[in-house]
Amino acid sequence: MSLISQRFKRSNAYDPDWILASVSGGANPLWITEWLTEKMDLQPGMRVLDLGCGRAMSSILLAREFGLQVWATDLWCSVSENLERIRDAGFADSIFPIHADARSLPFANEFFDAIVSIDSFPYYGTDDHYLNYIARFLKSGGQIGIAGAGLLRELETEIPSALKSWWEPGMSCLHSAAWWQRHWQQTGIVDIELADSMEDGWQHWLEWLKAIAPDNHVEIDALEADHGSYLGYVRTIGRRRPDAKLEDPITAVHTTYTPKPLLR
């Protein structure tokens, strides 16, 4: 399997055996990272949070292609295995694997120059409070960019017939770029710089799926039947506003017990 694509020229440099040995999800993290970073302002030496990094392929691309310091953060994938992959790639001094929940991150305020999230943000970022939470780790004027599987347009009242055999309740977290733009814009925390979908994204999704999971007939059949009507890849990039007012997260409610009679 060559995994060569004229659309993703940076990704073509990576060995297909290395890619297939590092699979962690339903999207090619190299392709999605390359697509997202085409529209981000990344400079050598920047500190970047790779949130939901999976098995750190996206982190390695960020370090190798842009000279970044990357905090490869994930909840589900082993940090020890990620460290081995990072060391073998030659980036132990610039990529730092972290095991953490996206809702409980161990970083200082305004620590990062940029935040990226590749095919994971819908799992936690649909929470109305989440952008307020994650933006505190981003410097004023820094970019946050997300990209991955999503919808080209929001669903109507019912699941389309082409998707019914594949759809399950958890997929309600998938949204369109326009939805993400509204979701972020109404907070006043970021200025939206881009919200769009990948041209022929469903075909790249299908190509990748046939490479890594050819027996996944349910998803393959859904993509082919949908034919780019709803399913595709979406990305959104925002920049933290200098005047953004972030609320401190509530971590505890301090109360004092005062004994009183239980009954009248």
pLDDT of residue 1: 59
On whether the CB atoms of residues 26 and 119 are closer than 8 A, the answer is: yes
**Count of residues in the chain:** 264
- Across the range 234-239, mean pLDDT stands at 98
- As a CATH number, domain 11-240 is 3.40.50.150
- pLDDT at residue 10 greater than cutoff 90: yes
C-alpha span between 127 and 251 (Å, rounded): 17
Asked if 173 and 126 count as a contact pair (C-beta separation under 8 A), the reply is: yes
Phi-psi region of 152 (alpha: psi -120 to 50; beta: other; left: phi over 0): alpha
Mean pLDDT over 154-168 rounds to 93
Structure-model confidence comparison of residues 250 and 106, the more confident one: 106
Whole-angstrom Cα distance, residue 74 to residue 52?
Answer: 5
pLDDT band at 251 (very low <50, low <70, confident <90, very high): confident
Evaluate whether 138 touches 112 at the Cβ level (below 8 Å): yes
Give the model confidence (pLDDT) of 64-111 as tens digits: 999 999 999 999 999 999 999 999 999 999 999 999 999 999 999 999
Query: What is the pLDDT, as a whole number, of residue 156?
Result: 84
Contact in structure between 132 and 189 (CB atoms under 8 Å): yes
Give the pLDDT score at 26.
81
**What are the tokens at 236?**
């959104």
How would residue 17 be classed by pLDDT, with cut points 50, 70 and 90? Answer: very high
